[in-house]
Structures are given as structure tokens and as C-alpha cells.
Chains A and B, each alone.
Chain A
Amino acid sequence: MMLGGTEGGPRERPAPPASRDATAYLEVTGVEKQFRDTPVIQGLDLQVRAGEFVCLLGPSGCGKTTLLRIIAGLLPADRGRILLEGADLTRVPAHKRNVGVVFQSYALFPHLTVAENVAFGLKARGLPAAEIRETVARALALVRLDESADRSIFVLSGGQQQRIAVARALAVKPKLLLLDEPLSALDRKLRETMRMELRYLLRDLAITAIFVTHDQDEALVMSDRIAVMNAGRIEQFDVPAAIYTRPATPFVLDFVGMSTRLAGTVAGGNGGQVEVETALGRLRAHGRLPAGTRVLVAVRPEDLRLGPPHGHAENAVTLRVRDPVFLGSKLILHFHAPEGDRVVAELPPAAGHGLVPGDGVTVSWDVAATLVYPTP
């Protein structure tokens, strides 16, 4: 349930997608999967539009790879249906689905050269040799590895192997491309370069793709929409900006980005606003909740500002600085907060100039930027 910051906030936010999308290209309906007695996917729905790049984001064990394998046909679902371009794929074996997969380990064939790896799917389809040669050359050129066609895959670097895996999956022109943490085996610097490269490549080809990752930065940077998964369910499915600024659940709030978190109880409310009693005083947020509801109040770090509130539309608390952390382009300020709470602000470095631990300051933020979630 998303309650805070929906109406009249300072940010322009795209409208959330309709829950049932008439233009769905891939449609996953009511999919369930258990391993032994442990549910891994629980009644999951997902609609992906043609040409869209969707990320499945979640911690390990949330079922994202299992969902990917079910869509690919490598794992049967216990219940539910998979539709691609309106055709029911649920009972279609993997090799007849035309759904490409880039595996986390790349799964390149060790007994084949680079070109033979890329040609594998084309040969399996029994295409004429001349066409195979041409397609392989095009696919290798696409990932800028045409020079390495006749080499063994073992002499290639991790980044090159990753590109071969992508070229191999793309060569057969799949209707849908699935990528299972394809960047996780690369070192940080290369990973950041490959992110953009992969995003541009898939966008240029206008291919529909689903990308699995546990890395929130990767998800935010690369995807058109992000499905945040937790315990076999999708907690929120939206564009990256909405996932960050309007997390639907405390889980999404926590998993994507940092935030100030304060425990409180609803003391009252009017006109679409609630007043919450917290250890740091009364705070206001957009939303409607009955008095007495125990809630979590949250604010993104960059929404906090040093100084007294500007008028009535802002919340303010007075705190002591615990630790200023300088990160080059920004300053992260940690504050002393009551037990179980956390207050953290992200400021331009100049704004926090001269602050030392122990300094008392007033911190303000927009009521509209205040998120509030009921807690058990």
C-alpha cells in the first residue's frame, strides 16, 4: 500500500501503469512454483509491453531467477500461464519457445569456437550454411567481436565472453530475451560500461527483454520498468523514478536506496493529511489512516534540507550531527536518532561545510515528500 506523497508533490510523476495491460506482449498470469514444500513463486502476474526492457530486482532467493527459468521453459510452473504475443507457451518446451537466455555463467560451449557458439542456434534450426555465416558475422560485429570469430572462448576476457553470450542469444532473433545477472561476474568498472552498452544495444534492436539483477543501480540505470520482487511476489512494478520516489512498500523503500526511517503512531488527520507522533515530534504526511495506527515514516536523504521550515508545507526536526561522510559530489550526514530510528541526509558538499559531530541543526523537508506505511 502506497500512501504518502501521491497528490500534488513537487515532482512530476508518470501515471502508474494499468494493472491489466491490453497491449501486453508477454503475459504471466497466476504463476506459482514450489520446491519441495517451499513456495518460491506465489501467484505472480507480470505484463511486459513489446520492446520494453524490464528488470526483475530483488534479493537472492526472492524467486527472480526461478521466474526467468519458468518464462524460458527450463522449469515447469506448478500453476499459471505464460502468453507471448497471445500464444500460450505454458506447455511448449524450451527449444520451441524462441525465448533467448543469457546465463549468469554465460554457458558458452567449451568445445566450440566463438563463431561456432554463435552459430549453434542457427545450425539447430537447420538454416543454410551461407545464411549462418552471414548472420554469425553480423551478430559478432554487433558486439564488436568479429576479430575473434575463430578463437577459443577460453582466451577471451569475462567481458568478451559476456558479449559472445549476448551475440549467441540474439543471433536466432528471439521473440524475447532473458538475461540472468549477466553482468555480475564482471569487475565493477567493466560492469558500469557494459550496463550502458547492453542498454543501447537492446534498445537499438527494439527487442523485448527481461533482466534479472540484485543490483539496484543496475536496475535503475538500465530498465524501462522495474519489478521489485520479494519472497516470490512482485511488490511493485513501475518506472525507475516511481520505484525510487514512491516505493509501494517498506520492502521496496529499503531495497532501493537509503532513507530516513522513523517509527510512529497516527495522532490524527484532516484534508488528506495525517499527523504522526514520533520520538522526534509531530510530523505530517499525505494519506488517510485512522488514529492509533502504528506507522513507519520515511524520507529519501536528498529530500532533507538544513535550516528551519519554509512555512506550513514542511516538516522539521532538530537533531545532533553524528557523522558527516564526504563522497566527492555529495555529503552524507548521519544524525543521532532515537533507538530503532535512522535519520540520514544527502546534501551538496557546500551545504554541510564546517559541520562537526555533535553540532545541533534543524532539518526540514516537504510534507509531500514524506512517505508513510502502516506497520504491524
Chain B
Amino acid sequence: MSPTGRETALAGELALGRRRGRLRERVEPISLLALPGTLYLSVAFGVPLLLLLVRSVYGDGGLSVASYVRFFEDPFSWAVIWNTLKAALLTTLICLLAGYPAAFALARASGALQALLLTALILPLSVGVVVKAFAWTILLRSDGIVNRLLLLTGLTEAPVRLIFTQPGLILGAVNVFLPFMVLPIFAVVKLIDRSLLDAAATLGASPVHRFLHVTLPLTMPGVIAGVAFVFSMSVSMYVIPTLLMGDRFKTLSILIARSFLFMRDRAAGSTLAVVLLLIAVAVVVASAMLSRRHQHAR
């Protein structure tokens, strides 16, 4: 090998070494622990998702956005999107309003009581959505316990129609998704140093000022996580509206299922799925950005 050749090879090795070094600097060894999970998700979730995406734009023997055009031109589609968003937003809002104080109560509860409350919160998750939604259909029937109580207390004269109504749907959805709001907020509240609130008080901050300027900003990361969880799950819920609303109420999930299972219209189903996915992704990305901003503020 000529001297220059050797030098070039050496330079190449050095460059490679440097590149490796840089790579090592960029990639923390500990992040390799995420590799199995990443691999699993890419194969079991990423690949089918990609197929779905392809199928939504690849129909009738070529690339086309015809199915999207058809979807967005139809006013019915917008009504469905609105239905879906409304149910998800209402569910998320009610979960937040009910879950935020609950998370505080949980975080401030003493050892044994806290363990009990946490179990009460988490254990029902193992019951499964189908069972819970079905239970709600029984509770909300015209001769169900809710209506009987209403009649008994004289709040109403005749049974109120609850099942197959939107309030009934929201009630059931909140019941199923509430733990996913409470838990992330609880985790954040538990970490708040209570002397911060004492400090705020001694600086002259009223209870309301303390809540708005100390507690709320410090719990924002938990709120953002909870909202992202509940919204992304309730925007795509299928079992709950199917059982509590039946065919009368059309959401994206119900249309997706119908397209694939009954209509055998894969292009339409894939299109709907992509639209739903984009809505969910938008919310998750937005909340991730918000939470990053809060991290930076810290």
C-alpha cells in the first residue's frame, strides 16, 4: 500500500471513529433499552398502519385521493366528525373536572386509605369495557336503577330516556376513562412540594391566587397527559357508543367498523381510519408540545 493510500485509509478510519464517537455521544446507551418495545411496535403496529395508509390512497388501480375527496365532500362526514369530536371533548372535559379534585384527594389521603382508593380506581379497569358498557345499559334502562331512583325521589314523574341518548353515552364513557385522567394528575400532585404553597401564603397570596399561580401551573404536565390519554381514547371509542347508542349515533369508529365488517369497503374504511388517526395525532402532538413548554419553564 502506498503511503498516501495508507494515509487515506487511516484518515477514513479516523473519520469513521469520529463518526462512531459522535453517534455514541448522540445516542445514550440507556436509550437502547427502548429497542425491544420499539421493534415490537414497529412490526405489530407500524407496518399495518402503513398498509392502511397505502390502502386509503391506492384504489381503482392507481394512486388517488378520490376516497378522501368523496369523504370530505359529503356533509354527512362532517356531521360524523362533529359527533365524534363532541363526544370526545365532553368526555374529556367532564373527566378533567371530576378527576382533578379527585386526584388531589387521592394524593393527600394517608397511606392505607390511599392504597384503598388507588385499588378502587384501578381494579375496575380489569372488568373490561364491554362488561362496563353493558352494565350501563342495564342501569340506564327505563326500568333501571337510575330511573327508579329518579321516580322514587320525585325528581321526575315518568321515566327519563337515558339509554340511547348522548348524556347516557358521556356518562358511560366518563366512567370508563376517568382513571386515565386521575392517575397522571395524581402522580404530579404527589410530587408537589407542599412548602411551595406555604411560601406562597407567607408572600401574601390568597388561596385562589395560590391555586392559579402555583398549584395549577405545577400540575399542568399531569393535566396535559390526562387530557391526551382520555381524548385519544374517547375519540376512538367503539364499544361504548355501540352498546349505549346503537346505530342511531354515528362516530368515526362506528363507520370504520361498518366499512370493514359490513360494507367490505376497504378504501372508505382506511380513509376514515386515517382521518381519525390524524385527529388523535394532532391532539397528542399538541399536548406533547405543551408539556415540553412546561418542562422548559421548569
Report whether B201 and A107 are in contact in the complex, using a CB–CB cutoff of 8 Å: no
Among B199, B294, B298, max chain A CB count under 10 A is at B199
Asked if B218 CB lies within 8 Å of chain A CBs, one says yes
Is the CB–CB distance between A107 and B199 below 8 Å?
Answer: yes
Segment touching B, from A51-59, A96-104, A184-192: A96-104
13 new A-B contacts, CB < 8 A, other than A109-B196, A111-B297, are: A74-B198, A95-B202, A97-B202, A101-B199, A103-B195, A105-B193, A107-B195, A111-B217, A111-B298, A112-B297, A121-B203, A121-B204, A172-B204
B residues apposed to A, CB below 8 Å: 193, 195-196, 198-207, 209-210, 213-214, 217-218, 294, 297-298
A121 to B204, alpha carbons, bound, how many Å? 6
A110 and B213: CB pair below 8 A? no
Q: Which of B195, B196, B204, B210 interacts with A125 by CB under 8 Å?
A: B204
Q: Are A103 and B214 in contact (CB under 8 A)?
A: no
* B203 lies within 8 A of A154 (CB): no
Tell me the bound Cα distance from A124 to B200 in angstroms. 9
Q: Please determine whether A74 and B201 come into contact, CB atoms closer than 8 angstroms.
A: yes
A interface residues, Cβ below 8 angstroms from B: 72-74, 93-101, 103, 105, 107-112, 120-121, 123-125, 152, 154, 168-169, 172
Query: With A100-B202, A124-B200, A172-B203 known to touch, is A105 a contact of B195 (CB < 8 Å)?
Result: yes
Which residue of chain B lies nearest to A119 when distances are taken between CB atoms in the complex? Answer: B203
Cβ-closest chain A residue relative to B209 = A124
Q: Which residues of A contact B298 (CB under 8 A)?
A: 110-111, 152, 154
10 closest residue pairs by CB, A with B: A121-B203, A107-B199, A124-B205, A94-B201, A107-B195, A101-B202, A111-B217, A124-B204, A95-B201, A74-B198
A93–B203 CA distance with the chains assembled, in angstroms: 12
Q: Are A93 and B218 in contact (CB under 8 A)?
A: no
Q: Is the CB of B218 within 8 A of A110?
A: yes
- A74 & B202 in contact (Cβ 8 Å cutoff): yes
* Bound Cα distance from A119 to B34, whole angstroms: 42
* Residues in B neighbouring A103, C-beta threshold 8 A: 195, 198-199
Could you tell me if B205 and A99 are in contact, using CB atoms closer than 8 angstroms?
A: no
In the assembly, what is the distance between CA of A99 and CA of B203, in Å? 8
Asked if A95 contacts B213 (CB within 8 A), the reply is no
Minimal beta-carbon separation of B176 from chain A (angstroms): 32
Contact A111 B199 (CB under 8 A): no
In the complex, what residues of A have CB within 8 A of residue B198's CB? 72, 74, 94, 101, 103, 107
Q: Is the CB of A169 within 8 A of B204?
A: no
Q: For the complex, what is the distance from the CA of A183 to the CA of B204, rounded to whole Å? A: 24
**Complex contacts, A99 vs chain B, CB 8 Å:** 202
Say whether B206 contacts A95, CB under 8 Å.
Answer: yes
CB of B185 to closest CB in A, whole Å: 16
Supply 10 A–B pairs (Cβ within 8 Å), ascending by A: A94-B201, A95-B201, A95-B210, A103-B198, A107-B198, A120-B203, A120-B205, A124-B203, A125-B204, A168-B199
Contact A72 B294, beta carbon cutoff 8 Å? no
Q: Which of B203, B205, B213, B297 has the most CB of A within 10 A?
A: B203
Chain B residues within 8 Å of A112, by CB: 297
Contacts of B195 in A (CB 8 A): 103, 105, 107
Contact indicator B214/A109 (Cβ below 8 Å): yes
Q: Which residues of B contact A172 (CB under 8 A)?
A: 203-204
A113 to chain B, nearest CB (A): 9
Q: How far is the CA of A103 from the CA of B207 in the complex (A)?
A: 19
What is the minimal beta-carbon distance from A35 to any residue of chain B, in angstroms?
Answer: 14
Contacts of A97 in B (CB 8 A): 202
Query: Shortest CB–CB separation between residue B250 and chain A, in angstroms?
Result: 43
The docked-state distance in angstroms from the alpha carbon of A189 to that of B198 is 29
Residues on the A chain within 8 Å of B200, using CB: 95, 109, 120, 124
CA distance A242 to B206 in the complex (A): 42
Complexed CA–CA distance, A97 and B198 (Å): 13
Residues of B within 8 A of A105 (CB): 193, 195
In the complex, what residue of chain B is closest to A152 when comparing beta carbons? B298
B202 — which chain A residues lie within 8 A by C-beta? 72-74, 94-95, 97, 99-101, 169
A111: nearest chain-B partner, CB-CB: B217
Q: Which residue of A lies closest to B201 (CB)?
A: A94
- Nearest-CB distance from A133 to chain B (Å)? 17
Query: Judging by beta carbons under 8 Å apart, are B193 and A107 in contact?
Result: yes
Minimal Cβ-Cβ distance residue in B for A105: B195
Which residues from chain B contact A95 at a C-beta distance below 8 Å?
200-207, 210
Q: Please give, as numbers and ranges, the residues of chain B lying within 8 Å of A100 by CB-CB distance.
A: 202-203
Whether B204 pairs with A107 at a CB distance below 8 angstroms is no
Contacts of A74 in B (CB 8 A): 198, 201-202
Chain A residue nearest in CB terms to B210: A95
Q: How far is the CA of A111 from the CA of B297 in the complex (A)?
A: 5
